[in-house]
């Protein structure tokens, strides 16, 4: 009784990584190539089953092309006596393509414990687990030893962003007590992917990589029920988001771009081609230059850092350079506090609204009521106009 499993998580067909459509197209092709490599690996290694730990696709946006690829891939596995065990994630929770429901062993979105006789005469395995759930509750009795001798394998999708670190540590301790041969975990951020000496193993994002965690694992279980795990590299592209929310600390556009280039270089994963989503937000002293020359700057930094880059400035706002220079963070905070005070002072608020309307700075959705979220931008623009007239500089 020996088993071999291939374990993956977070393929994410048709899930957007960037606001840049070209990057999303490129990523989608990479995902298809990597998924096909997984299917080939299962067949070459004569795997017992492919374990999918959530987020195979984005159920809101999956295309017919990708749905067809999944269906054909699963048919290839079935024709080679390879089972598919599936635990839903946060993107594909609770639903699957109708045409392939009968081809998988499905772990539902709450606790499941059932013995399955794998297809084509393979020995029985007790697959148990939990799919995507916003309540990560794990009863101790659920982990108690089973009465029969059927070996158990657990599957679980964990959305790390929903839980505190203490909660995950408690979960880890409980998994260590489990009598399952091992727990296959997906949906991790990767920082816990290298846990040693335990009976649970993470598979992170298959493609592109978003951490140091392995996107694909090969699990070998010997006749003596000894488990060995080895990562399999099927993708040489890594994705990361870099956030800069203190752009005002850079005295000019060149210094800001140099900072961003340094951050990109530090984020590189060795041996991987990088895709970077650079998010600039908050007050910025070189707002106009970024808005006007974003594409050119993006192209230059992309070339220097050798990355596929998308600069996102949707949440960037203008900051005022008092007396021609940017001051400390405290000054920016005071400026923002002064603008926020408009909410509490009705007379000041109305006077500002009328001034902004007169300048056609902004309107609400109906065209008549002011959008309070735009007050800060509007006030900044008025102050900016005044500053420009005083010293003739473009900030």
Residue 372 phi/psi, 5-degree rounding, is: -60, -25
Instruction: Report the pLDDT value the prediction gives residue 20, as an integer from 0 to 100.
Output: 83
User: How far apart (Å, rounded) are the C-alpha atoms in residues 386 and 80?
Assistant: 73
User: Do 178 and 154 meet the contact criterion of CB atoms below 8 Å apart?
Assistant: yes
Residue with tokens 């998010």: 279
Instruction: Report the pLDDT value the prediction gives residue 269, as an integer from 0 to 100.
Output: 85
The 3-state DSSP class for residue 310 equals strand
User: How far apart (Å, rounded) are the C-alpha atoms in residues 48 and 43?
Assistant: 10
Where exactly are the structural domains of the chain? 3-235, 236-319, 328-395
- Among 291, 292, 311, which residue's Cα sits nearest to residue 301? 311
Instruction: Report the pLDDT value the prediction gives residue 146, as an integer from 0 to 100.
Output: 62
Instruction: Report the pLDDT value the prediction gives residue 220, as an integer from 0 to 100.
Output: 93
User: Do 263 and 307 meet the contact criterion of CB atoms below 8 Å apart?
Assistant: no
User: How far apart (Å, rounded) are the C-alpha atoms in residues 185 and 51?
Assistant: 10
Give the residues across from 115 on adjacent strands.
126
Q: Say what angle helices 253-266 and 287-305 make with each other, to 10 degrees.
A: 40
Instruction: Report the pLDDT value the prediction gives residue 328, as an integer from 0 to 100.
Output: 47
User: Do 184 and 203 meet the contact criterion of CB atoms below 8 Å apart?
Assistant: yes
Instruction: Report the pLDDT value the prediction gives residue 309, as an integer from 0 to 100.
Output: 92
CA distance readout (Å), 28 to 24, 50, 149, 154, 240: 6, 21, 43, 30, 16
CA distance readout (Å), 119 to 73, 139, 183: 16, 30, 21
What is the block-wise mean pLDDT of the chain (395 residues), using blocks of 10 residues?
A: 90 88 90 96 94 90 91 92 88 71 72 62 75 61 62 84 74 79 78 59 88 85 88 90 86 88 90 91 83 89 91 78 47 55 60 54 42 51 46 38
What letter would DSSP give residue 9?
A: B
Q: Which residues contact 179 (CB under 8 A, 6 or more apart)?
A: 143, 144, 145, 146, 152
Instruction: Report the pLDDT value the prediction gives residue 334, as an integer from 0 to 100.
Output: 58
**Architecture per CATH, 3-235:** 4-Layer Sandwich (3.60)
Provide the residue count of the chain: 395
User: How far apart (Å, rounded) are the C-alpha atoms in residues 231 and 41?
Assistant: 12
């Amino acid at each position: 009784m020996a088993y071999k499993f291939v374990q993956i998580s977070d393929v994410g067909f048709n899930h957007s990584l960037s606001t840049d459509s070209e990057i999303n197209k490129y990523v989608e092709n990479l995902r298809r190539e990597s998924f096909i490599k997984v299917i080939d690996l299962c067949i070459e290694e004569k795997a017992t089953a492919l374990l999918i730990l959530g987020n195979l696709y984005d159920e809101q946006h999956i295309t017919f092309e990708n749905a067809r690829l999944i269906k054909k891939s699963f048919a290839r596995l079935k024709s080679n006596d390879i089972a598919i065990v599936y635990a839903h994630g946060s993107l594909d929770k609770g639903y699957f393509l109708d045409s392939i429901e009968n081809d998988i062993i499905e772990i539902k979105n709450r606790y499941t414990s059932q013995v399955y006789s794998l297809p084509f005469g393979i020995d029985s395995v007790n697959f148990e687990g939990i799919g995507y759930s916003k309540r990560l509750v794990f009863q101790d009795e659920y982990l108690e030893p089973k009465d029969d001798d059927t070996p158990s394998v657990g599957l679980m999708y964990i959305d790390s962003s929903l839980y505190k670190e203490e909660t995950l540590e408690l979960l880890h301790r409980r998994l260590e007590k489990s009598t399952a041969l091992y727990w296959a975990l997906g949906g991790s951020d990767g920082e816990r992917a290298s846990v040693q000496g335990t009976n649970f193993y993470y598979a992170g994002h298959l493609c592109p990589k978003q951490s140091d965690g392995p996107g694909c694992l090969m699990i070998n279980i010997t006749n003596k029920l000894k488990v060995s795990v080895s990562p399999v590299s099927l993708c040489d592209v890594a994705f990361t988001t870099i956030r800069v929310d203190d752009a005002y600390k850079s005295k000019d556009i060149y210094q800001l771009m140099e900072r961003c280039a340094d951050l990109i270089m530090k984020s590189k994963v060795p041996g991987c081609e990088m895709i970077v989503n650079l998010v600039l937000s908050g007050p910025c002293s070189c707002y106009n230059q970024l808005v006007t020359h974003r594409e050119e700057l993006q192209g230059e930094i992309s070339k220097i850092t050798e990355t596929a880059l998308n600069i996102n400035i949707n949440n960037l706002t203008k900051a005022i350079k008092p007396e021609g220079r940017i001051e400390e963070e405290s000054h920016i905070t005071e400026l923002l506090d002064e603008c926020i005070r408009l909410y509490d002072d009705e007379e000041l608020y109305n006077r500002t609204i009328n001034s902004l309307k007169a300048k056609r700075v902004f309107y609400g959705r109906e065209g008549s009521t002011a959008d309070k979220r735009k007050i800060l931008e509007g006030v900044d623009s008025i102050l900016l106009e005044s500053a420009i007239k005083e010293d003739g500089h473009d900030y």
